[in-house]
Amino acid sequence: MILPEGFAGRFSTAMREMRVTRGRLADKLKLTRGAVGHWASGRRTPPDPTTIETIAQELGVRPAWLAFGDGEMLEEGKTRPPPPVRKRRKSAQEMAPSKPDVHARVAAKKPAPKKRARRGPGTVKSRMKLTPADMKKPRPAKAAA
């Protein structure tokens, strides 16, 4: 196995190999996903030794390997988790309804969609045809409160 460069590479490798997401690790360490992501990408300097030990314990890797790349990645007796079981996607034939007229019955029960009132520049007031005489009419006075 080729060792990744620096803490960020080893940290990313450990997370990937142990199938731990940034969010899950951040929750366990009571940190933000951003902080974990910055360590994984190398944008932030490696954490202090006590935090590295905590991270190594959560990931199930050796702290010396995580910090310096010394020795093997996994602790003695620890194995990688099995790959996740992926659900098989259904084919189009399996998803097709058993009766061919199901869609026709559903469409017949639905009422036609109602037309919504128009808003904005195409409203009733803007469609009214005003004459110049209408424009000169005085507006009614507001009632004094």
pLDDT-derived band at 101 (thresholds 50, 70, 90) equals: low
pLDDT at position 99, please? 58
In a domain, 80, yes or no: no
Res 72 pLDDT > 60:
yes
Number of domains, the chain:
1
Other beta carbons within 10 Å of 51 = 13
In a domain, 129, yes or no: no
In a domain, 62, yes or no: yes
Q: Which domain holds residue 21?
A: 7-68
C-alpha to C-alpha distances, 3 to 7, 11, 19, 90, 107, nearest whole angstrom: 11, 11, 18, 40, 60
In a domain, 126, yes or no: no
In a domain, 40, yes or no: yes
In a domain, 51, yes or no: yes
Say whether pTM exceeds 0.75: no
pLDDT at position 23, please? 92
Res 2 pLDDT > 60:
no
Res 104 pLDDT > 80:
no
Average pLDDT of the chain is 77
Res 120 pLDDT > 70:
no
Residues 6+ apart with CB under 8 A from 39: 7, 8, 11, 46, 47
Res 97 pLDDT > 70:
no
Query: Residue 24's domain is classified under what CATH number?
Result: 1.10.260.40
In a domain, 2, yes or no: no
Res 20 pLDDT > 70:
yes
Single out the residue of 85, 66, 82, 87 nearest to residue 17, CA to CA. Answer: 82
In a domain, 99, yes or no: no
User: Which of 35-49, 63-77, 102-116 shows the highest mean pLDDT?
Assistant: 35-49
pLDDT at position 144, please? 66
